[in-house]
Amino acid sequence: MGEDTNGKDEVRDLTGGMFGDEFAVSAEEAGEFLVGIGEQLRENDDLTLEGDGWEIPFEFGDEVEIELDYDGNVPELEIEVEMEGGREKDEAPTVS
């Protein structure tokens, strides 16, 4: 990323865009990441993920889906957390 006119590194806000990546980190770093997400889920209705030159602010809804896949033959455990964005509730239309 470049620098803005104030000499600060630009951070690309990915709101409304697409992003995908994988990160190979230590178990300790993964734990810190997951604890940070857990704290934001417990305390707020939004969270922000940040990386090298990018930021994803995300307002989530009431439900969070957790999927577990385990293959003891490999062995491999996959944990997936999926959140839908929070949406304002519309008023029901009237019938006349």
pTM beyond 0.95: the answer is no
Q: Is residue 95 part of a domain?
A: no
Give the residue numbers spanning the domain of 78: 12-85
Q: Has residue 8 got a pLDDT over 80?
A: no
DSSP run (H or E) holding 84? strand 76-85
**71-91 per-position pLDDT tens digit:** 999 999 999 999 988 766 677
Which whole number is the average pLDDT over 3-29?
Answer: 78
How far lies 61's CA from each of 35, 37, 47, 79, in Å? 19, 15, 11, 20
Compute the mean pLDDT over every residue in the chain, rounded to the nearest whole number: 85
Q: Domain count of the chain?
A: 1
pLDDT at 93: 78
Q: Is residue 90 part of a domain?
A: no
Three-point CA angle 88, 50, 22, nearest 5°? 105
Q: Is residue 93 part of a domain?
A: no
